[in-house]
Amino acid sequence: MSRIKICGVTTPDAARRAADAGADAVGLNFYAKSPRYVSPQQAVALIKALPAFTAPVGVFVGAPLRQVCAVAYQLGLRAVQTYDDAPPEEDTVPFAHVPAFRVKDAAGLEHIRRFVAAATASDRAPAAVLIDSHVEGQMGGTGHAAPWELLAGFDPGAPVVLAGGLTPDNVEEAIARVRPWGVDVASGVESSPGVKDAEKVARFVKNARRAFAALFA
Protein backbone atom coordinates (compact mmCIF):
# COMPACT_ATOMS: atom_id res chain seq x y z
CA MET A 1 0.00 0.00 0.00
CA SER A 2 1.45 3.35 -1.07
CA ARG A 3 1.18 6.71 0.63
CA ILE A 4 1.18 10.33 -0.58
CA LYS A 5 1.98 13.30 1.65
CA ILE A 6 1.54 16.96 0.75
CA CYS A 7 3.96 18.77 3.00
CA GLY A 8 4.10 22.35 4.18
CA VAL A 9 0.44 23.30 3.99
CA THR A 10 -0.09 26.70 5.59
CA THR A 11 -3.84 27.37 5.39
CA PRO A 12 -7.03 25.44 6.20
CA ASP A 13 -8.06 25.72 2.54
CA ALA A 14 -4.78 24.17 1.35
CA ALA A 15 -5.14 21.36 3.87
CA ARG A 16 -8.71 20.65 2.78
CA ARG A 17 -7.82 20.75 -0.92
CA ALA A 18 -4.94 18.32 -0.41
CA ALA A 19 -7.28 15.92 1.34
CA ASP A 20 -9.95 16.33 -1.33
CA ALA A 21 -7.33 15.55 -4.00
CA GLY A 22 -6.69 12.23 -2.30
CA ALA A 23 -3.58 12.83 -0.19
CA ASP A 24 -3.11 10.36 2.66
CA ALA A 25 -1.31 12.89 4.86
CA VAL A 26 -0.50 16.58 5.10
CA GLY A 27 2.67 17.93 6.65
CA LEU A 28 2.60 20.79 9.15
CA ASN A 29 6.02 22.45 9.29
CA PHE A 30 7.02 23.60 12.76
CA TYR A 31 10.54 24.66 11.70
CA ALA A 32 10.64 28.43 12.25
CA LYS A 33 13.18 29.09 9.46
CA SER A 34 10.98 27.49 6.81
CA PRO A 35 8.79 29.60 4.49
CA ARG A 36 6.11 26.98 5.24
CA TYR A 37 6.28 27.47 9.01
CA VAL A 38 3.09 27.34 11.04
CA SER A 39 2.91 27.68 14.81
CA PRO A 40 1.13 25.03 16.89
CA GLN A 41 -1.62 27.59 17.44
CA GLN A 42 -2.04 28.15 13.69
CA ALA A 43 -1.98 24.40 13.07
CA VAL A 44 -5.21 23.88 14.99
CA ALA A 45 -7.33 25.39 12.21
CA LEU A 46 -5.50 23.34 9.57
CA ILE A 47 -6.12 20.10 11.44
CA LYS A 48 -9.79 20.97 11.93
CA ALA A 49 -10.10 21.34 8.15
CA LEU A 50 -9.00 17.74 7.52
CA PRO A 51 -11.48 14.89 7.07
CA ALA A 52 -11.38 11.95 9.47
CA PHE A 53 -8.92 9.71 7.64
CA THR A 54 -6.34 12.23 6.38
CA ALA A 55 -3.37 12.14 8.74
CA PRO A 56 -1.73 15.32 10.06
CA VAL A 57 2.05 14.93 10.33
CA GLY A 58 4.29 17.32 12.24
CA VAL A 59 7.70 18.25 10.80
CA PHE A 60 10.30 19.22 13.40
CA VAL A 61 13.95 20.29 13.17
CA GLY A 62 16.23 20.45 16.19
CA ALA A 63 13.50 20.14 18.80
CA PRO A 64 13.94 17.77 21.78
CA LEU A 65 11.88 14.61 21.33
CA ARG A 66 9.83 15.25 24.45
CA GLN A 67 8.84 18.65 23.09
CA VAL A 68 8.00 17.07 19.73
CA CYS A 69 5.73 14.51 21.39
CA ALA A 70 4.15 17.20 23.59
CA VAL A 71 3.14 19.19 20.51
CA ALA A 72 1.94 16.01 18.81
CA TYR A 73 -0.22 15.18 21.83
CA GLN A 74 -1.57 18.72 22.07
CA LEU A 75 -2.62 18.73 18.40
CA GLY A 76 -3.56 15.08 17.94
CA LEU A 77 -0.97 14.41 15.24
CA ARG A 78 -0.70 10.96 13.67
CA ALA A 79 3.04 11.05 13.07
CA VAL A 80 6.16 13.13 13.68
CA GLN A 81 8.92 13.70 11.14
CA THR A 82 12.30 14.69 12.57
CA TYR A 83 15.81 15.41 11.30
CA ASP A 84 18.15 13.58 13.68
CA ASP A 85 21.68 12.22 13.40
CA ALA A 86 21.12 9.54 16.02
CA PRO A 87 18.24 7.16 16.79
CA PRO A 88 15.71 8.37 19.39
CA GLU A 89 16.53 7.70 23.03
CA GLU A 90 12.83 7.69 23.89
CA ASP A 91 9.76 6.09 22.34
CA THR A 92 7.38 8.24 20.30
CA VAL A 93 4.38 5.90 20.69
CA PRO A 94 1.52 6.55 20.00
CA PHE A 95 2.97 8.81 17.31
CA ALA A 96 4.59 7.15 14.30
CA HIS A 97 8.19 8.30 13.93
CA VAL A 98 9.52 9.17 10.47
CA PRO A 99 13.17 10.27 10.64
CA ALA A 100 14.23 12.30 7.60
CA PHE A 101 17.62 12.16 5.92
CA ARG A 102 19.28 14.39 3.34
CA VAL A 103 21.26 12.11 1.04
CA LYS A 104 23.92 12.96 -1.53
CA ASP A 105 26.02 9.78 -1.78
CA ALA A 106 26.34 6.11 -0.84
CA ALA A 107 27.69 7.05 2.60
CA GLY A 108 24.34 8.67 3.33
CA LEU A 109 22.55 5.42 2.57
CA GLU A 110 24.85 3.51 4.90
CA HIS A 111 24.11 6.02 7.64
CA ILE A 112 20.38 5.35 7.21
CA ARG A 113 20.96 1.59 7.44
CA ARG A 114 22.92 2.01 10.69
CA PHE A 115 20.28 4.37 12.08
CA VAL A 116 17.43 1.96 11.38
CA ALA A 117 19.38 -1.03 12.74
CA ALA A 118 20.25 0.78 15.97
CA ALA A 119 16.70 2.06 16.45
CA THR A 120 15.28 -1.39 15.80
CA ALA A 121 17.68 -2.98 18.27
CA SER A 122 16.39 -0.53 20.90
CA ASP A 123 12.77 -1.46 20.08
CA ARG A 124 12.24 1.99 18.55
CA ALA A 125 12.12 1.08 14.88
CA PRO A 126 10.95 3.96 12.68
CA ALA A 127 7.56 3.67 10.99
CA ALA A 128 9.27 4.82 7.78
CA VAL A 129 12.30 6.84 6.69
CA LEU A 130 12.03 9.93 4.51
CA ILE A 131 14.86 10.50 2.05
CA ASP A 132 15.36 14.03 0.77
CA SER A 133 17.98 15.74 -1.35
CA HIS A 134 21.03 17.24 0.34
CA VAL A 135 21.28 21.02 -0.06
CA GLU A 136 23.79 22.63 2.29
CA GLY A 137 22.13 24.68 5.01
CA GLN A 138 18.55 23.85 4.01
CA MET A 139 16.19 21.35 5.61
CA GLY A 140 13.86 20.17 2.86
CA GLY A 141 11.53 21.96 0.48
CA THR A 142 14.44 22.97 -1.78
CA GLY A 143 13.10 21.69 -5.09
CA HIS A 144 16.30 19.71 -5.71
CA ALA A 145 15.88 16.05 -6.63
CA ALA A 146 17.18 13.28 -4.42
CA PRO A 147 19.69 10.90 -6.08
CA TRP A 148 17.25 8.46 -7.70
CA GLU A 149 20.04 6.35 -9.19
CA LEU A 150 21.39 5.63 -5.70
CA LEU A 151 17.98 4.99 -4.19
CA ALA A 152 16.76 2.45 -6.75
CA GLY A 153 16.25 -0.80 -4.85
CA PHE A 154 17.47 0.67 -1.55
CA ASP A 155 16.08 -1.20 1.46
CA PRO A 156 17.13 0.30 4.80
CA GLY A 157 14.95 -2.05 6.83
CA ALA A 158 12.01 0.38 6.97
CA PRO A 159 9.54 1.72 4.38
CA VAL A 160 11.04 4.49 2.23
CA VAL A 161 9.29 7.80 1.57
CA LEU A 162 10.86 9.62 -1.36
CA ALA A 163 11.07 13.41 -1.24
CA GLY A 164 13.18 16.07 -2.91
CA GLY A 165 12.38 17.83 -6.15
CA LEU A 166 9.22 15.89 -6.94
CA THR A 167 6.62 17.52 -9.19
CA PRO A 168 3.45 16.41 -11.00
CA ASP A 169 5.60 15.98 -14.12
CA ASN A 170 8.35 13.76 -12.69
CA VAL A 171 6.68 11.82 -9.88
CA GLU A 172 5.73 8.90 -12.14
CA GLU A 173 9.31 8.44 -13.30
CA ALA A 174 10.59 8.78 -9.73
CA ILE A 175 8.23 6.08 -8.46
CA ALA A 176 9.07 3.75 -11.36
CA ARG A 177 12.81 4.11 -10.73
CA VAL A 178 12.99 4.17 -6.93
CA ARG A 179 9.89 2.08 -6.07
CA PRO A 180 9.31 3.84 -2.73
CA TRP A 181 6.57 3.05 -0.23
CA GLY A 182 5.47 6.68 -0.31
CA VAL A 183 6.20 10.11 -1.79
CA ASP A 184 6.34 13.54 -0.18
CA VAL A 185 6.11 16.89 -1.97
CA ALA A 186 6.28 20.52 -0.85
CA SER A 187 7.72 23.07 -3.30
CA GLY A 188 6.80 21.00 -6.36
CA VAL A 189 3.11 21.77 -5.95
CA GLU A 190 3.39 25.47 -5.09
CA SER A 191 2.84 28.73 -6.93
CA SER A 192 5.24 30.43 -4.49
CA PRO A 193 6.98 29.27 -1.28
CA GLY A 194 4.31 28.16 1.17
CA VAL A 195 1.42 28.72 -1.25
CA LYS A 196 -0.02 25.46 -2.58
CA ASP A 197 -1.42 25.34 -6.11
CA ALA A 198 -4.60 23.24 -5.99
CA GLU A 199 -4.28 22.13 -9.63
CA LYS A 200 -0.68 20.99 -9.13
CA VAL A 201 -1.63 19.14 -5.95
CA ALA A 202 -4.44 17.32 -7.73
CA ARG A 203 -2.20 16.38 -10.68
CA PHE A 204 0.56 15.20 -8.35
CA VAL A 205 -1.77 12.89 -6.44
CA LYS A 206 -3.36 11.57 -9.64
CA ASN A 207 0.00 10.86 -11.30
CA ALA A 208 1.49 9.31 -8.15
CA ARG A 209 -1.52 7.01 -7.76
CA ARG A 210 -1.20 5.91 -11.38
CA ALA A 211 2.51 5.18 -10.93
CA PHE A 212 1.99 3.20 -7.73
CA ALA A 213 -0.79 1.21 -9.42
CA ALA A 214 1.60 0.35 -12.24
CA LEU A 215 4.13 -1.06 -9.76
CA PHE A 216 1.64 -3.64 -8.59
CA ALA A 217 -0.12 -4.31 -11.90
The answer to whether 196 and 23 have CB atoms below 8 angstroms apart is no
Return the DSSP state at 188.
Answer: G
Tell me the C-alpha to C-alpha distance, in Å, between residue 185 and each of 29, 41, 59, 182: 13, 23, 13, 10
pLDDT in the model for residue 145: 72
Q: Tell me which residue of 217, 201, 187, 178 sits closest to 36, measured CA to CA.
A: 187
pLDDT in the model for residue 20: 98
Stretch among 15-29, 61-75, 145-159, 182-196 having the lowest mean pLDDT: 145-159
Q: Tell me whether residue 69 is one of the annotated catalytic residues.
A: no
Alpha helices in the chain (DSSP H): 12-21, 40-48, 65-75, 106-121, 148-151, 171-178, 198-215
Could you say which of 7, 24, 69, 184 is catalytic?
Answer: 7
Q: Tell me whether residue 7 is one of the annotated catalytic residues.
A: yes
Could you say which of 20, 69, 85, 132 is catalytic?
Answer: 132
Q: Tens digit of pLDDT for each residue in 58-91?
A: 999 999 999 999 999 999 999 999 998 899 999 9
Look at residue 163 and tell me whether its pLDDT is greater than 50.
Answer: yes
pLDDT in the model for residue 144: 64
Domains of the chain, earliest start first: 3-215 (3.20.20.70)
Q: Tens digit of pLDDT for each residue in 97-123?
A: 999 999 988 999 999 999 999 999 999
Q: What is the pTM of this model?
A: 0.93
Res. 31 pLDDT band, cuts 50 70 90: very high
Spatial separation of the C-alpha atoms in residues 191 and 189, rounded to whole Å: 7
Spatial separation of the C-alpha atoms in residues 156 and 199, rounded to whole Å: 34
